[in-house]
Structure 1
């Protein structure tokens, strides 16, 4: 007959080993879940950082939409991940990584490099072009006059927003509008846009000389006539007042193109 005591010890030992294996499996499962939760949190944190950077750069309104469009993912899904209602799983993480060109995009700075700031995207196609004219030609403009009709178009400038049919471009001269505008900058002027306080405008005097300045309404003079100032940004120049000299606003600046200082090509160094 089998040794009853030995058989009992064998069963007890086998049961003990089973419990140990089960306990080890449970611990491993808990560790795996904890690691997965940590990864989800890192991905969520990285996506929130992208949204915050977008909001800081281009405004809070629509930041989630713009980031979702840039990553080519569903906007509502991104909102749910941001709010902690959904997780960024493996497939989505791989898709975002392919879009950013970095599969480690979600890892924290202590584990890898800082999240790449993907803050550029393809430029939109220009809606139309407007004529770049001289200040002399601008001084001859009147309401609803086609700038092309002046025959003084130096070039055509592409614009990326809606402007009226009579819009035109001017090149800034001199330093009266520094530091915001420097010589060589190009400003797009729309005659159909009524200036608001603080806008930049192009105006002309009775001698049909055009100037580019900041618009500042001043109320009414003693005769009850509304008047305004044209203010240079460079304090070395004096403002002009429409109640002291004949000034007529031609149009309001709707966008500008900065001229960058030419630098030696880095490949030539």
Structure 2
């Protein structure tokens, strides 16, 4: 059994689609498809894929040993509906929305960050990942003030992505990315859409909008 076969077996046993796996580990679906078809025979994302599918990395890479990870081998109670999260934590800066708007322009290095936090999100470009806290009610009720957002500035937005964007000045905004058409060069024409209908949309036809990064994780605190 080759890597492609083990990968397909692990994904099917976990009842996950290629899209699920790709989005969770931060790769494109075509890249995962190439791994499963044998066009690519290795990837630096195999550890992340193994963790997501709850299989042993050594088995996934070599075919030797046992398929299931140690966490999966533990017998589960009929009442159990949680799993131990064994993912590695990565330190990232916490920025305010002004700093987020300057992220690429100043080659932001974290010196003046509001603080630091940790994420399980994995990428080949960790310096392009930062966190911001939601401010205001324009994205309520899905995103509330104080919610933590993990943003990857290396990703290009897709229709339906949630993005940090800059309009004119330094301060940024957090909105949903909706494609409305294409310009003469084939580039997206888009709107930045608030989830709260009491707030206005912003159109790239009317404003010079720059996308800073794409949401990859959303963390919320709950009151006790």
Q: Same fold (TM over 0.5)?
A: yes
Report the equivalent of 1:129.
91
Residues 144, 122 of structure 1: alpha-carbon distance in 2 compared, 3 angstrom cutoff: farther
What SS does the corresponding residue of 1:138 show, helix, strand or coil? helix
CA distance in 2, matches of 1:161, 1:167: 9
Cα offsets for 1:162-214 (capped at 9, x unmatched) = 13222110000111101111110011111111111001000011111200000
Tell me the CA shift for residue 253 of structure 1: 0.8
Question: TM-score normalized by structure 2?
Answer: 0.64
Report the equivalent of 1:26.
none
Radius of gyration: which is bigger? 1
Cα offsets for 1:37-91 (capped at 9, x unmatched) = xxxxxxxxxxxxxxxxxx9xxx7239xx759654517xxxxxxxxxxxxxxxxxx
Report the equivalent of 1:169.
131
Higher relative contact order (CA 8 A, sep 6+): 2
Is contact 1:145-1:166 (8 Å) kept? no
Are 1:212 and 2:167 an aligned pair?
no
Residues 126, 224 of structure 1: alpha-carbon distance in 2 compared, 3 angstrom cutoff: closer
Match runs of 1:134-153 below 5 Å: 134-142=96-104, 145-148=107-110, 151-153=111-113
CA distance in 2, matches of 1:144, 1:119: 45
- List runs of 5+ in structure 2 lacking aligned partners: 1-11, 18-52, 56-67
Are 1:239 and 2:201 an aligned pair?
yes
Is contact 2:99-2:171 (8 Å) kept? no
Match runs of 1:245-260 below 5 Å: 245-260=207-222
Report the equivalent of 1:197.
159
Tell me the CA shift for residue 217 of structure 1: 1.4
CA distance in 1, matches of 2:104, 2:171: 13
What SS does the corresponding residue of 2:114 show, helix, strand or coil? strand
Is contact 1:227-1:242 (8 Å) kept? yes
2:16 counterpart (61, 71, 95):
61
Residues 122, 179 of structure 1: alpha-carbon distance in 2 compared, 3 angstrom cutoff: same
Residues 162, 71 of structure 1: alpha-carbon distance in 2 compared, 3 angstrom cutoff: closer
Tell me the CA shift for residue 256 of structure 1: 1.3
What SS does the corresponding residue of 2:221 show, helix, strand or coil? coil
CA distance in 2, matches of 1:217, 1:125: 34
CA distance in 1, matches of 2:94, 2:165: 16
Query: Going by fraction, where is helix more abundant, 1 or 2?
Result: 1
Following TM superposition, where does structure 1 have runs of at least 4 consecutive aligned residues deviating by more than 3 angstroms?
65-71, 221-226
Please, what is the CA RMSD of the aligned residues? 2.7
Tell me the CA shift for residue 146 of structure 1: 3.1
